[in-house]
Structure 1
Amino acid sequence: MTHPVDVHVGKRVRHRRWLIGMTQQQLAEQVGIKFQQIQKYETGANRVSASRLWDIAEALDVPVSFFFEGLEEAEKVVAEKPSVPADLMGDKEALDLVRSYYAIPENQRRRLFELARVLSDVA
């Protein structure tokens, strides 16, 4: 059985990899492992050792702490009924939307965010 922390770390690896447009193969090559191992990490099927997590963090240009961000909130969401899908960052469409969102100039992005917030309050 997978441990919730391993699943969370794996989701964060996949999230960051997708945000920067890197494939599993590219990440695996930078870390020096096979892409199948990246797949196992991203699903939480295999635990990531501390040294491997360090290598992945360097390859993805984030601090190691990035992979643990939101862990407490994720545990709370599991205990409650979430208003969004539990694996939102595992949804390719959602990540494509986020990637596109950050490609918009900042001033327009803020206006789009406010529009989305208003529309979600109405719904």
Structure 2
Amino acid sequence: MAGEEPVERAEREHRPSPIDVHVGSRVRLRRTLLGMSQEKLGEALGLTFQQVQKYERGVNRIGASRLFDLSRVLDVPIGFFFDDMHGIPGGRSTRASVAGFAESQDGFDDDTLHRRETLELVRAYYRITDPSVRKRVFDLIKTLSPHD
């Protein structure tokens, strides 16, 4: 652009896109929910953990084939990486949770999914291997929470 300093232009061009940052944060969220390290994810994809870090921060853009591989390894549909994109053109605000519960919760904010307590709870929940026990735990939590 005319009149623009080369340093300013270079800085702007090296800033991660908000979409790349969002997709990377969704990769991190899902990896963490699965209790998977960056090293393990990197091994599954043929990458170093440093490359995984760059994807998760949005520094490196994730191409279509890599996004397909990530969806397979992290066991989510490709659309998962674009869910809950607020304030980004074309972003869907679905409020569907990662754990597969599609109903919307009043007072439930997006930061809840990023809290360590939430991640540990979801990990512990999915470590319960008996589906009937897991269902009873889920029902217990629902009965303990405030009703509308």
Q: Fold conserved (TM > 0.5)?
A: yes
Q: Secondary structure at the match of 1:73?
A: coil
Q: Is the 8 A contact 1:19 1:95 kept in 2?
A: yes
Residue among 94, 101, 115 paired with 2:144: 115
Q: Which has the larger radius of gyration?
A: 2
* Structure 2: runs of 5+ lacking an equivalent: 1-14, 86-91, 95-106
1:58-107 per-residue CA deviation (whole Å, 9 max, x = no partner) reads 11122212211222338xxxxxxxx7776544433331122234446213
Find out whether 1:41 has 2:65 as its counterpart. Answer: no
CA distance, structure 2, for counterparts of residue 108 and residue 93 of structure 1: 17
Find out whether 1:29 has 2:18 as its counterpart. Answer: no
Aligned to 2:72: 58
Identity %: 45
Aligned to 1:91: 115
1:3 is displaced (CA, Å) by: 2.0
1:46 is displaced (CA, Å) by: 1.8
Change (3 A) 1:114 1:45: farther
CA distance, structure 2, for counterparts of residue 13 and residue 4 of structure 1: 14
* Structure 1: runs of 5+ lacking an equivalent: 75-82
The total of aligned residue pairs comes to 111
CA distance, structure 1, for counterparts of residue 57 and residue 112 of structure 2: 14
CA distance, structure 1, for counterparts of residue 59 and residue 111 of structure 2: 15
The one-letter amino acid of 2:49's match is F
Q: Quick check: 4-13 or 100-109, which moved more?
A: 100-109
TM-score by length of 1: 0.72
CA distance, structure 1, for counterparts of residue 58 and residue 111 of structure 2: 13
Aligned to 1:77: none
1:14-52 per-residue CA deviation (whole Å, 9 max, x = no partner) reads 111112221110110111111111111112222111111
Q: Quick check: 27-36 or 100-109, which moved more?
A: 100-109
The one-letter amino acid of 1:111's match is L
Q: Describe how 1:74-85 pairs up with structure 2 within 5 A.
A: none
RMSD of aligned residue pairs (Cα, Å): 2.5
If each structure's helix is expressed as a fraction of its own residues, which one has the higher value?
1
Aligned to 1:13: 27
Change (3 A) 1:86 1:20: closer
Residue among 84, 93, 99 paired with 1:73: 93
